[in-house]
Chains A and B, each alone.
Chain A
Amino acid sequence: MAATTASPSSGSSLGVGPGGVPPRGGKGVGKTIYRLISGLPTWILWGLVALWLTPTVSLFANSFRTRDAQRSSAWWLMFQDDSLTLENYQQVLTSEVAGGMWQGLLNSFAIALPATIVPIAMAAFAAYAFAWIDFKGREWLFIGTVSLLAVPLQTSLIPLLQLYSGGARQTVPFIDKTVTFLPDMSLAGSVTAVWLTHTGFALPLAILLLHNYIVGLPQDLFESARIDGADHFQVFLRLVLPLSVPVLAAFAIFQFLWTWNDYLIALTMIGGNRAALPATVVIASLAGEFGIQEHLLSAGAFVQIFVPIIVFFALQRYFVRGMLAGSVKG
């Protein structure tokens, strides 16, 4: 660890706590202790990394062990009893006992893909308008939209479910006529209801992210395009969209992980329709019957977290960029 910075040029290296003092030329016991302690930050860091990995590793290890082995001995003894097997995975993916995990994965895709694509398109239009079209009340509309980020989605759940299962009607006071804004489309219990909900909830964050990026694009680029006779629509399609690919990708990853991992919205909007439940709800209900299918739980959970972890490691840089844009600038 570079906490013992003797040279001023090593710049950004840091240590916290008692380790971070330059040596003051002590001797003997004091010096030995000092050396031990100044190495401490590195050891703490690697200790924390090990601590952070242990839970995931323990799940992964348990997923390869038989029911009896999981119940009778700890996972780090897995190589002593040769009980390693792939049977758990086979059962989780094929058998109905596990609650239809394969169907659950397909449902998760059916929710996460539209819930990622649709809001990006809408948010890109809106972000462009907020960034480059001048109109009255723009600032307040933007701040109002983005401040909805903090609204807990619990406040929308009950009315939204009523909307999906019964449509939207309002009786006009005084003249007593009921106006139907949306007919009953019997969406409750379908994956469509879930991704529509995700789309709405994702828009404030998407607009914030894309706006912050688009507003930073050089203005003279657009002006020269406008002088060449391009209108807003062409500027948006040919200039802004291609230049915004990095932030679009960042938000897409963010939103994909979020919708893939969602539990609350799927549970509320799909409810009892088992055929449409995504993987998170499947493993959660498997966990509810702890004991009976206990040995399948680790394999099921691993299957569910496998997809986001692959996406995460492949595209980590975009993910981090999206998170930073959302938190630091906004």
Chain B
Amino acid sequence: MVQASLPTGLLERQRRPLIQAGILLVVLLAVSYVIATVAERDLGLFLDTWSRLVAAAIGAGGVVASLASWRSSPHSTARRVTITALGVVSALVLWLLYLTDVLVRATVQSVVIAIVVSAVVFVVANKWFDASLKDWRRFTALTGLIGGAAIAGLLVGNRNMGLFTGSGEALADRSLLLVPVIAVLCGALGVALSSLKVQPTKAIVGAAGGGVVGLLIGAFFRSGSLPSLEPVALLVGPVVGAALFVGLARLRGKALGPAAVTGATFGWLLGAFGIPELGSGTVLEAIVGTAGLGLLLGLRLGLAQPDTMESRIRLERKARAVIFLAPALLFIAATLVIPTIRTGWLSLLDRTGGFVGLGQYRLAFSDPNFYNVSRWAGIFVSTEFLVFAVVLVIGLVTVLLTRRQIDQFWPPRLSIATAGAMVLLGVAVTANALAGEGPPTANVLTFAMIALGIAVLVMLVRYLKAHPGNSGISGGSGMALTLAMIFLGLALFTNLRGTLFNNIWWVFLVTILATGVGLAIAALSDGAKAESFAKAMIFMPMAISFVGASIIWRFMYIARPPTNDQTGVLNSLWVGLGQLANSGAAVPVAIGFFLVVGGLVLLALRGFLSGALGIGWGSVFSAIPVAWIGWLFLSGNIGGVTEGPGGQLVAAPILFLSGTNQVGAYNNFFIMVPFIWIYTGFAMVILSAAIKGVPSDLIDACNVDGATESQKFWRVIVPQIAPTIGVVITTIIVTVMKVFDMVAVMTNGNFGTEVLANAMWKAAFTQGNRGLGSAIAVMLFLLVLPIMFLNIRRMQKEFH
């Protein structure tokens, strides 16, 4: 990657790009001038010289940066040409947009200003603390200057002080003059304090200097900020503050005198400006307040220990960490941490801002569109549940038969967890039978089911972790178990309805399918012909927005009236199949299907006879759906095509997004499809890289031992990439949990497809109930909390 030696010349400034940029700037300036003249004459756009200059700088900077990256780039020529051309073109496009579009100009200006200001602040801050090591006097002078400017700037900016005309009116535009004056005074005080070493003198000079600066500040206080001092507060404040700080200093074993002054300073601030009414006092009172504050502050600085090299180094290191971290951490605090806390508080308020406790949460759960378990009994009688049971049995039998050490399959903890969950389930069912059908017992049963699922999953994951490569799960059984899980989900979520369950279903199904299909494609494409092309095509949807994907898939799902031709791909196929099944070709097609079934049965026999049970069961397993489709063809029950009264065929296209099947439960699935379409590529790319990272000697050892491809995959590669699979799953869960765009664009939550993020948006911004919106957002936060916890655990391990 990077050479360990110091690259020569890296620490020297590179001057050539600067010269190039200068030349380009002049050229682009000339061109800008011509374009701007033409634009002014023909389009009526006016540009001042300053704007032309900035436009030229943008163009020149972009072109030079692109060319510089050309020189230093280690890539092949074709790639370098692409990247450089892209950079040059985008710089020129930005330049042209800057010249012609007002909005782009405003944005570029604000970004440039923001970057220049932050860069200046950053460089000044670094230079400032450089001085603390090299020249202590310069450092104190700078500190005084910056501190004074900051205090004066804050007071002027908040209209607490200013210059006045004769009649007492504030001079808004000249008041900033106070800032440099006070800054210079503070700087001088800094120099004085760092030059004096003898103690009583130093403290006296500090107190006197601070008092003078405070006096000056107080004299310019504006009438709205004058405090009406209360002698009691002014006395009690410093005393209490000093006592508090002395106590703390004793506990920490520090010097008591300076601590007392620090405490008194805070106390004075509170007593003079915190407690009294502002705006009703006199100038004299303001001067007393500020001069006292300045005096105490100066005294504290005067009492400071003389600097040593050690203290300077400590200061420099601390300050440097703060300088480097402050911008990012401040931004994170302002946009993530504080708003999240505030959302928690807002969720306890009602529409008008009154405190309602958990009322908004109760409101959410009392809405049957949000949380509805009244149809829970339907879970156990649904077709999906039946299919789940059958597939689960097939899968378990396959697992048991393909394993060598059957006795290890049910590890103690797994059986305890299962038993516990079963007991819970039994209690719930009994309670339900005793109490008759009602919401409370339905809740118990629901949570028992969910507890069962989670317990089994957790134990399974722990078991797989403890016995890597020996899980007994292989191609056929792995697919069967995954399918069983999906059908269990279908059974649960077609009967438990509402926003909350929709969200859980999204997480469940999208995570399984995107990860599973992604893993399958990663395995299939590994070493295949044109691997990178196939992977790029599958990965491409990652570049498409959720909104774009929603629109793309709406075109796939279009259902035209039955009398028209279908124009969407899926309904064309569906109706076409139905027409085929009801035509003369039905029998030959069905025969084709049954031939495939026959082949699979033969293969199954071969597998069983040669002892490859995985192949045997895998074939049996895949023969069933094929036979089912053949049967559908023979009976004509496919494609929704029925015979009308006149004997003609009438098609019934599928309403993918607005169907009424099981109160719209399946509509959710068809909104998930585009999401899976996008995130399969994500899973594939990461898992494919992980598969390529499996040590080749492991694979070689497998080949020497004569392992089959299937064994190699399930017993060596999957356990090796298990941590990566975990990362992919957590990433997808976090993304899916907050799904918003697709639901908003495709159905806007209608037809039983509401999810938490969309419900939150509607509550907060359409209905104007911010409390309810915040409550739903908090629920979303609670749902990702376990993932956050897992991430923290993982990072703790990896940080060192």
B189: interface (CB < 8 Å): no
| Contact A156–B799 (Cβ < 8 Å) | no
Give chain A interface residues in 295-330, CB to chain B under 8 Å.
297-298, 301, 304-305, 308-309, 311-316, 320, 323-324, 327-330
B285: interface (CB < 8 Å): no
If A106-B101, A156-B336, A199-B331 touch, whether A287 touches B550 (CB-CB below 8 Å) is yes
Most chain B CB within a 10 A radius of its CB, from A117, A177, A301, A309: A301
A197: interface (CB < 8 Å): yes
B484: interface (CB < 8 Å): no
6 closest A-B pairs by beta carbon, nearest first, are: A200-B335, A20-B709, A261-B545, A8-B703, A13-B527, A129-B324
| Contact A18–B780 (Cβ < 8 Å) | no
Which residue in B526, B538, B539, B618 is a CB contact (below 8 Å) of A12? B526
User: Which stretch, B194-202, B203-211, B256-264, B551-559, touches the partner chain A?
Assistant: B551-559
Q: Which residues of B contact A70 (CB under 8 A)?
A: 567
B399: interface (CB < 8 Å): no
| Contact B554–A129 (Cβ < 8 Å) | no
Q: Is the interface of B mostly helix, strand, loop or mixed?
A: helix
| Contact A320–B555 (Cβ < 8 Å) | no
| Contact B773–A158 (Cβ < 8 Å) | yes
B744: interface (CB < 8 Å): yes
If A175-B274, A264-B740, A309-B544 touch, whether A230 touches B11 (CB-CB below 8 Å) is yes
| Contact B777–A20 (Cβ < 8 Å) | no
Q: Which residues of A contact B275 (CB under 8 A)?
A: 175
B734: interface (CB < 8 Å): yes
Q: Which residues of B contact A304 (CB under 8 A)?
A: 545, 547-548
If A42-B528, A135-B318, A196-B335 touch, whether A49 touches B342 (CB-CB below 8 Å) is no
Which residue in A11, A49, A200, A236 is a CB contact (below 8 Å) of B700? A11
Fill in one digit per residue for B528-544: 1 if any A CB lies within 8 Å of its CB, else 0: 11000010111111111
| Contact A156–B339 (Cβ < 8 Å) | yes
If A152-B781, A298-B555, A328-B724 touch, whether A18 touches B335 (CB-CB below 8 Å) is no
A292: interface (CB < 8 Å): no
Give chain A interface residues in 8-53, CB to chain B under 8 Å.
8-22, 24, 26, 29-30, 33-34, 36-37, 41-42, 44-46, 48-49, 52-53
| Contact B741–A263 (Cβ < 8 Å) | yes
CB distance from A146 to the nearest CB of B (A): 6
Which residue in A5, A16, A328 is a CB contact (below 8 Å) of B713? A16
Give chain A interface residues in 188-237, CB to chain B under 8 Å.
191-192, 196-197, 199-201, 203-204, 207, 216-218, 220-221, 224-225, 228, 230-234, 236
| Contact B787–A150 (Cβ < 8 Å) | yes
Give chain A interface residues in 229-250, CB to chain B under 8 Å.
230-234, 236, 238-239, 242-243, 245
| Contact A122–B521 (Cβ < 8 Å) | no
Bound Cα distance from A172 to B122, whole angstroms: 31
| Contact A54–B709 (Cβ < 8 Å) | no
Fill in one digit per residue for A95-115: 1 if any B CB lies within 8 Å of its CB, else 0: 000000001001101100110
Q: Which residues of B contact A106 (CB under 8 A)?
A: 97, 101, 103-104
| Contact B336–A154 (Cβ < 8 Å) | no
Give chain B interface residues in 731-767, CB to chain A under 8 Å.
731, 734, 737-738, 740-741, 744-745, 756-757, 760-761, 764-765
Which residue in B103, B318, B796 is a CB contact (below 8 Å) of A107? B103
Which residue in B325, B602, B612 is a CB contact (below 8 Å) of A21? B612
Q: A20-B708, A107-B103, A280-B547 are known; give 10 further A-B pairs, CB within 8 A.
A: A2-B528, A20-B713, A122-B118, A126-B325, A148-B337, A152-B737, A158-B342, A192-B110, A220-B4, A309-B544
Q: Which residues of A contact B690 (CB under 8 A)?
A: 328
CB distance from B7 to the nearest CB of A (A): 9
CB distance from B34 to the nearest CB of A (A): 23
B340: interface (CB < 8 Å): yes
| Contact A263–B327 (Cβ < 8 Å) | no
CB distance from B766 to the nearest CB of A (A): 11
Give chain A interface residues in 72-114, CB to chain B under 8 Å.
72-75, 103, 106-107, 109-110, 113-114
User: Which stretch, B244-252, B629-637, B681-689, touches the partner chain A?
Assistant: B681-689
A186: interface (CB < 8 Å): no
Bound Cα distance from A241 to B323, whole angstroms: 17
| Contact A150–B788 (Cβ < 8 Å) | yes
Q: Which residues of A contact B517 (CB under 8 A)?
A: 48
CB distance from B535 to the nearest CB of A (A): 9
| Contact B777–A155 (Cβ < 8 Å) | yes
| Contact A150–B734 (Cβ < 8 Å) | yes
If A5-B703, A151-B336 touch, whether A309 touches B543 (CB-CB below 8 Å) is yes
Report the nearest A residue to B521, measured CB to CB. A48
Most chain B CB within a 10 A radius of its CB, from A37, A53, A305: A305
| Contact B104–A308 (Cβ < 8 Å) | no
Report the nearest A residue to B340, measured CB to CB. A155
If A8-B704, A11-B699, A21-B615 touch, whether A74 touches B324 (CB-CB below 8 Å) is no
Bound Cα distance from A118 to B123, whole angstroms: 16
CB distance from B783 to the nearest CB of A (A): 8
Which residue in A52, A53, A138, A157 is a CB contact (below 8 Å) of B764? A157
If A125-B122, A201-B335 touch, whether A305 touches B543 (CB-CB below 8 Å) is yes
B332: interface (CB < 8 Å): yes
A62: interface (CB < 8 Å): yes
| Contact A55–B338 (Cβ < 8 Å) | no
Bound Cα distance from A150 to B699, whole angstroms: 36
If A73-B565, A155-B339, A287-B550 touch, whether A110 touches B103 (CB-CB below 8 Å) is yes
B610: interface (CB < 8 Å): yes
10 A–B pairs (Cβ distance < 8 Å), ordered by A: A1-B529, A16-B710, A17-B476, A106-B103, A110-B107, A121-B115, A126-B327, A155-B781, A233-B130, A305-B545
Which residue in B327, B342, B615, B734 is a CB contact (below 8 Å) of A122? B327
| Contact A200–B548 (Cβ < 8 Å) | no
Of the four ranges (under 10, 10 to 19, 20 to 34, 35 or more), the interface on chain A belongs to: 35 or more
Which residue in B158, B552, B796 is a CB contact (below 8 Å) of A55? B552
Q: Which residues of B contact A1 (CB under 8 A)?
A: 528-529
Count of interface residues, chain B, beta-carbon cutoff 8 Å: 168
Q: Which residues of A contact B133 (CB under 8 A)?
A: 231
Q: Which residues of B contact A288 (CB under 8 A)?
A: 745
| Contact A218–B527 (Cβ < 8 Å) | no
If A14-B527, A26-B606, A231-B130 touch, whether A59 touches B551 (CB-CB below 8 Å) is yes
B435: interface (CB < 8 Å): no
| Contact A207–B547 (Cβ < 8 Å) | no
Most chain A CB within a 10 A radius of its CB, from B528, B708, B778: B528
Bound Cα distance from A14 to B332, whole angstroms: 45
B360: interface (CB < 8 Å): no
Bound Cα distance from A304 to B543, whole angstroms: 11
CB distance from B324 to the nearest CB of A (A): 4
Most chain A CB within a 10 A radius of its CB, from B524, B567, B694, B700: B524
Which residue in A14, A45, A142 is a CB contact (below 8 Å) of B717? A14
Most chain B CB within a 10 A radius of its CB, from A2, A9, A14, A130: A14
Q: Which residues of B contact A158 (CB under 8 A)?
A: 339, 342-343, 346, 764, 770, 773-774, 777
| Contact B6–A327 (Cβ < 8 Å) | no
Report the nearest A residue to B787, measured CB to CB. A150
| Contact A45–B525 (Cβ < 8 Å) | yes
If A45-B534, A129-B325, A287-B554 touch, whether A327 touches B745 (CB-CB below 8 Å) is no
| Contact B524–A18 (Cβ < 8 Å) | no
A64: interface (CB < 8 Å): no
Q: Which residues of A contact B288 (CB under 8 A)?
A: none
Which residue in B342, B526, B554, B765 is a CB contact (below 8 Å) of A159? B342
Q: Which residues of B contact A72 (CB under 8 A)?
A: 564-565, 567
| Contact A21–B708 (Cβ < 8 Å) | yes
CB distance from B567 to the nearest CB of A (A): 5
Give chain A interface residues in 112-164, CB to chain B under 8 Å.
113-114, 117-118, 121-123, 125-126, 128-130, 133-135, 138-139, 141-143, 145-160, 163
Report the nearest B residue to A175, measured CB to CB. B274
Q: Which residues of B contact A3 (CB under 8 A)?
A: 709
| Contact B11–A238 (Cβ < 8 Å) | yes
